[in-house]
Amino acid sequence: MKNLLSMEYLTNDEIMSIIERAREFEQGAEPKLDRSHYVANLFFEPSTRTKTSFEMAERKIGCTVIPFEAGFSSMLKGETLYDTVKTLEMIGLDAVVIRAKEDEYYRELLEGINVSVINAGDGTGQHPSQSLLDLYTIYKEFERFDGLTVTIVGDIAHSRVAKSDAIALRRLGVNVNFLCPPEWAGNFEAQYSWDGILEESDVIMLLRIQHERHDVPFSKELYHQQYGLTVEREKQMKEHAIIMHPAPVNRDVEIASELVECKRSRIFHQIHNGVFVRMAILETILKER
Amino acid sequence: MKNLLSMEYLTNDEIMSIIERAREFEQGAEPKLDRSHYVANLFFEPSTRTKTSFEMAERKIGCTVIPFEAGFSSMLKGETLYDTVKTLEMIGLDAVVIRAKEDEYYRELLEGINVSVINAGDGTGQHPSQSLLDLYTIYKEFERFDGLTVTIVGDIAHSRVAKSDAIALRRLGVNVNFLCPPEWAGNFEAQYSWDGILEESDVIMLLRIQHERHDVPFSKELYHQQYGLTVEREKQMKEHAIIMHPAPVNRDVEIASELVECKRSRIFHQIHNGVFVRMAILETILKER
Amino acid sequence: MKNLLSMEYLTNDEIMSIIERAREFEQGAEPKLDRSHYVANLFFEPSTRTKTSFEMAERKIGCTVIPFEAGFSSMLKGETLYDTVKTLEMIGLDAVVIRAKEDEYYRELLEGINVSVINAGDGTGQHPSQSLLDLYTIYKEFERFDGLTVTIVGDIAHSRVAKSDAIALRRLGVNVNFLCPPEWAGNFEAQYSWDGILEESDVIMLLRIQHERHDVPFSKELYHQQYGLTVEREKQMKEHAIIMHPAPVNRDVEIASELVECKRSRIFHQIHNGVFVRMAILETILKER
């Protein structure tokens, strides 16, 4: 695997292989790389989780990380992303992790670039490392995908997590439902009410309301009441069902604040799992270099 | 010691133990930690000294530092400090060093957070690592606290250094005076003129005028004349008395520019001492994890 | 060598010694330093290439890099550059790499500062590490300087690269020409048309149009047609002549986009060479400490 760009390009075997390797890392396995690699993290959008998770994973598999301040680079002087990445390649980097505002920003990097590219989120496109950690979290819980029911709730049209997860989960045999306000469904076929959802879902996957991508004023209370996971709704979930959220969480909007760390919640576990998944992604890519 | 939040929570014994360990580090002692720890520095206010000093101390005791860009984190998307720190904990950090604008920002981190928190300055509250390096600087100079006289001069109401130092110094037997314009005394009992101060002070501790926290226009010349350490005033200091300032210095305001590196000045020594004090703080906290 | 501030202060012997050491590093030589050094990179202007190149070179010769966020330092509170650099010295740094907006910002660091200063660009002044990598690139290509003809094209008045390179190249026996619009010649004697230039130049060195330093609106098409390296002009270059550009490139302004990676172009090679040159600079300076 040279790059990780979109869940669409990963086979089920590749997905399972990353999940299994992540589990080995979580159980203490040592990375299988014969040298230290140089990587940089190019984040053109704010991030806490994904960026620090990659920074941690990179150090844990023995990479040397070259700092790159996206808000203070020569792209301010009009340099293209291609020229920026090519520059990093010539400086000696093995891989770059990129988050950018533009959907499929990586298209311009497919030719002429030898450094490996790991997509850490492209606009409203894909977020494959998040998707892989979601899959790992589900697999750790149920030890299978086939026959599970996952309901993705919220700002689906803007969510790269929804897209990435839906593609992969369906391919792995999961029954995926969507629940959201009618205006947020985008191209997805969604339900507009909770009717029947809590009774049949093994996973309730909440999405962050991306206030920064919406113009229209919005009532947090109303959203919480209609589409949020309230304390009452949590009680109606199936016995072994779990709650997921890619975070950051808008407390008392997508989910009642007191549920964020409840027994069913895997929200902080997802973050913990993410480090091992990213170690697996990096090792898979770097060991072929 | 799990956290370092405020000088109020440290006993005299804990203070002396950090001072003694700092001296050992200055004399070349090796850190006593049985593994490498992961730390991050979350600075939500500008800083040169405190931040780079912690970055240096962390590396000198063998930590791996995970970069965190406060101005480009998910707190921009409304994530709480609790959720940010919990995220870093789940990613695998052992300790976070935090500077934030809010007084006692750490209150929301006291429950549910396992990662150690080191306060690098909270609003107009406390700045315990600065205070400990001030104490170390005074102790190195006089080899005692009891019976010394320290006068703290300047913007006392806004100063976390003044508060942190006064609490600890008084508890250690130091006679602490304050000198400032009447409107800057806050809750402290202060003198408004230099009468008698130079003759009796072993330490003149100047504070930075925090222009960024004042609205009223302000005459630098007038302040220097009335409250600054001028060349003339320095000549009236006691023979072995020293000058301190947490820096950054407003030259020719709090202190005449030519005195910044004069024989009595410990301003740059304080910075040098700070690295060893922070090594001691980090080791004390991390060795219990 | 304590500092690297300007090409004016380097002898030809010092230049050749850095070039030769860079070549050894490119061929796999190990750094000759008996301990790890602490360095910081203070970039007060945006940079991709120079900053990441120094970051890479520092790690490759075994330095520990202390992060410094220029846009979030105490200089925002009015601290002088002198006090900032002195602070870093007291914290234990061996060298600082600085890029700043002011011409000869380093003047205030010449007295009282013991940490080594490496100039990574001062306003419209000098850019010695870029100049040395340009020289290395030319030397690798022709194995000599004497008798070569180099034409520097573009925004000469604003270019620290033009100044740094012209000084050094002429001293090394190179015939240096300038080509630019009349209003951009500054103090240099320049040609205003391509007449005769392509036939005699061994190196065409293009400079970036520094849009951020110009007020007057400017036609990219017109510039390209009159002063750019077009596809047609490239065909008239001498057989072994090469194209250089310090980058970032304004594609289709200074140079036709399709020539950026053409056979004669050394634009990305320059970036690659820069890492070895900066390793040589750092080693030269640090081994004397």
Task: From first to last of the 289 residues of chain C, give the pLDDT tens digit.
Answer: 999 999 999 999 999 999 999 999 999 999 999 999 999 999 999 888 999 999 999 999 999 999 998 878 888 778 899 999 999 999 999 999 999 999 999 999 999 999 999 999 999 899 999 999 999 999 999 999 999 999 999 999 889 999 899 999 999 999 999 999 998 998 899 999 999 999 999 999 999 988 766 666 778 999 999 999 999 999 999 999 999 999 999 999 999 999 999 999 999 999 999 999 999 999 999 999 9
Domain with CATH 3.40.50.1370 in chain C: 7-126+272-286, 128-266
Structure tokens at A252: 């008392």
> What Å distances lie between residue B204 and A100, B153, B236, B244, CA to CA?
52, 7, 12, 6
Q: Report the C-alpha gap between C13 and A165 in whole angstroms.
A: 61
Structure tokens at C241: 């002549």
Interface of A with C in 217-236 (CB under 8 A): none
The answer to whether A160 and A186 have CB atoms below 8 angstroms apart is no
Contacts of A68 (CB under 8 A, 6+ apart): A40, A41, A42, A88, C48, C52
Number of H helices and number of E strands within chain A?
A: 9, 8
> What Å distances lie between residue C150 and B118, C170, C202, C236, CA to CA?
57, 10, 6, 15
What integer is the mean pLDDT of B80-105?
96
Check C67 against B69: CB less than 8 A apart: no
Task: From first to last of the 289 residues of chain A, give the pLDDT tens digit.
Answer: 999 999 999 999 999 999 999 999 999 999 999 999 999 999 999 888 999 999 999 999 999 999 998 877 888 778 899 999 999 999 999 999 999 999 999 999 999 999 999 999 999 899 999 999 999 999 999 999 999 999 999 999 889 999 899 999 999 999 999 999 998 998 899 999 999 999 999 999 999 988 766 666 778 999 999 999 999 999 999 999 999 999 999 999 999 999 999 999 999 999 999 999 999 999 999 999 9
Q: Report the C-alpha gap between C242 and A246 in whole angstroms.
A: 51
The answer to whether B255 and B228 have CB atoms below 8 angstroms apart is yes
Structure tokens at A127: 């977020």
Q: Report the C-alpha gap between C113 and B257 in whole angstroms.
A: 16
Is A36 an 8 Å CB contact of chain C? no
pLDDT at position B158 is 86
Shortest distance between the Cα of B272 and any Cα of chain A, in A, equals 26
- Residue from C74, C89, C113 whose CB has the most chain B CBs within 10 Å, to mutate: C74
What percent helix, strand, coil does chain A show, rounded to 5?
A: 45, 15, 40
Q: What backbone phi and psi angles, to 5 degrees, belong to B249?
A: -90, 135
Q: Report the C-alpha gap between A166 and A170 in whole angstroms.
A: 6
> What Å distances lie between residue B211 and A55, B125, B207, C71, C74, CA to CA?
36, 17, 12, 18, 12
Give the closest residue to B199 by CA, choosing from B172, B239, B159: B239
- B226-281 pLDDT per residue, tens: 999 999 999 999 999 999 999 999 999 999 999 999 999 999 999 999 999 999 99
Check B47 against C76: CB less than 8 A apart: no
Is C77 marked as a binding-site residue? yes
Is A213 marked as a binding-site residue? no
A48 interaction partners in chain B (CB closer than 8 Å): 68, 73-75, 79, 84, 87-88
Q: What backbone phi and psi angles, to 5 degrees, belong to A98?
A: -125, 135
Q: Report the C-alpha gap between B274 and B54 in whole angstroms.
A: 9
- Give the burial class of C182: count Cβ atoms within 10 A of its Cβ; 0-12 exposed, 13-18 middle, 19 or more buried: exposed
In CATH, the number for domain C128-266 is 3.40.50.1370
Q: Is the dihedral of CA C165, C168, C170, C173 positive or negative?
A: negative
Shortest distance between the Cα of C84 and any Cα of chain B, in A, equals 7
Chains that touch C (3 or more CB pairs under 8 A): A, B
pLDDT at position A46 is 87
CB burial of A116-154 (b: ≥16 within 10 Å; e: otherwise) equals: bbbbbbbbbbbbbbbbbbbbbbbbebbeebeebbbbbbb
The answer to whether A127 and A161 have CB atoms below 8 angstroms apart is yes
pLDDT at position A212 is 66
Nearest to A74 among C49, C274, C275 (CB): C49
Check B52 against C77: CB less than 8 A apart: no
> What Å distances lie between residue C212 and A70, A78, B39, C160, C254, CA to CA?
18, 10, 38, 15, 15
A249 interaction partners in chain B (CB closer than 8 Å): 79, 83
In CATH, the number for domain A129-270 is 3.40.50.1370
Domain with CATH 3.40.50.1370 in chain B: 7-127+272-286, 129-266
Is C59 marked as a binding-site residue? no
Number of cross-chain residue pairs from A and C with Cβ atoms under 8 Å apart: 76
What integer is the mean pLDDT of B187-192?
93
A55 interaction partners in chain B (CB closer than 8 Å): 66-67
In CATH, the number for domain B129-266 is 3.40.50.1370
pLDDT at position C158 is 86
Predicted-complex ipTM score: 0.94
Check B46 against C92: CB less than 8 A apart: no
Say which CATH architecture domain A7-126+272-286 belongs to: 3-Layer(aba) Sandwich (3.40)
Is A121 an 8 Å CB contact of chain B? no
Contacts of B180 (CB under 8 A, 6+ apart): B153, B154, B155, B156, B157, B190, B192, B227
Pairing type for strands C64-65 and C38-43 reads: parallel
Check B77 against A212: CB less than 8 A apart: yes
- Residue from B43, B52, B53, B250 whose CB has the most chain C CBs within 10 Å, to mutate: B52
Domain with CATH 3.40.50.1370 in chain A: 7-126+272-286, 129-270
Shortest distance between the Cα of B215 and any Cα of chain C, in A, equals 15
The answer to whether A99 and A45 have CB atoms below 8 angstroms apart is yes
- Whether residue B188 is predicted with pLDDT greater than 80 in this model: the reply is yes
Residue C161 Rama label (left phi>0; alpha psi -120 to 50; beta): alpha
Is B62 an 8 Å CB contact of chain A? no
Structure tokens at A285: 């890519």
Residue type, A203: V
At residue B107, the 3 state secondary structure works out as: helix
Q: What is the CA radius of gyration of chain A?
A: 19
Sheet holding B116-122, edge to edge: B64-65, B38-43, B95-100, B116-122
Shortest distance between the Cα of A193 and any Cα of chain B, in A, equals 27
Check B80 against A251: CB less than 8 A apart: yes
In CATH, the number for domain B7-127+272-286 is 3.40.50.1370
Is A50 marked as a binding-site residue? yes
> What Å distances lie between residue A191 and A129, A194, A233, CA to CA?
27, 8, 16
The answer to whether A85 and A113 have CB atoms below 8 angstroms apart is yes
pLDDT at position A61 is 97
- Residue B72: closest C-alpha in chain A: A46
Is A248 an 8 Å CB contact of chain B? yes
Shortest distance between the Cα of B31 and any Cα of chain C, in A, equals 17
Is C212 an 8 Å CB contact of chain A? yes
State in Å, rounded, how far the first CA of chain B is from the last one: 9
Q: Report the C-alpha gap between B109 and B223 in whole angstroms.
A: 39
